[in-house]
Structure 1
Amino acid sequence: MFTQTASSTLNHERILAVQRYIRANLDQPLRRDVLASVAGFSIPHFHRVFTSVTGESAGAYVRRIRLERAGYKLRFGAIDIMEVAMAAGYDSHAAFSKAFKKQYGCSPSDFRNLGCFKASQLLREGKHP
């Protein structure tokens, strides 16, 4: 029988494996059942454990990581904003812009041009996927 600490450590390791899987497969659809399978959990248990370990749902984590990668591509790549939006899993420029602005406080084009504080702060801190 696992102690609370051993169980907690195992859960943390499984969630780290899921986070690695997510980062390696950001260009693919990331379904909850697949992520739960990577962790070796049922879907409801996966949701509880992921949220407990990371402080955010798996869906929120995936969106955040995709938007971080999109921000990096916008700033350092020569990719069209719509191409970045599609790669981040958004079907429209409007949906991408809304989500991006919610996360970074500025539009994707302002971010690309370093026209917002969060963009420059993000780059100074070296945060990118």
Structure 2
Amino acid sequence: MEEQKKREFSSYNGLDRVPMAGGVPLLLFIGLIGLSVLISLIAQIFFGIVGYLFAFFAVPLFGFVRMLVANDDKAIRLLFIELYFKFKYKKFSGFKDTLTFTPTRYLKNESSIESIFVDELDNSKRNTKV
């Protein structure tokens, strides 16, 4: 028998990547640049022309972020998600301090849940023989 050749499809791996600037995610890069400029301008008011040197305090932050995302470009996003849920757990008090996460629609809209059961009951009535 002749071997069938598998079909090949083009892959869009680049669409899922985070845009980078100098090895740092672009939005974080813009945020760090803006923060360092803001801090240096405020420091310039108090320290004069030497205040502009405060902009260089962002350089170690760039190095840290660059090392953090060297292997995984979504590491920053995962770090923020972990921190979000850690802080959410600290504030939570209820159900014996057990924080449980469910899908977003679950019990938010009771009518959607009721409609499922109503539809099933209606279908069961149709299938019954009289």
Give TM-score, length-normalised by structure 1: 0.24
Greater RCO, 1 or 2 (C-alpha within 8 Å, sep 6+):
1
Higher CA-based Rg:
2
Greater helix share, structure number: 1
Give TM-score, length-normalised by structure 2: 0.24
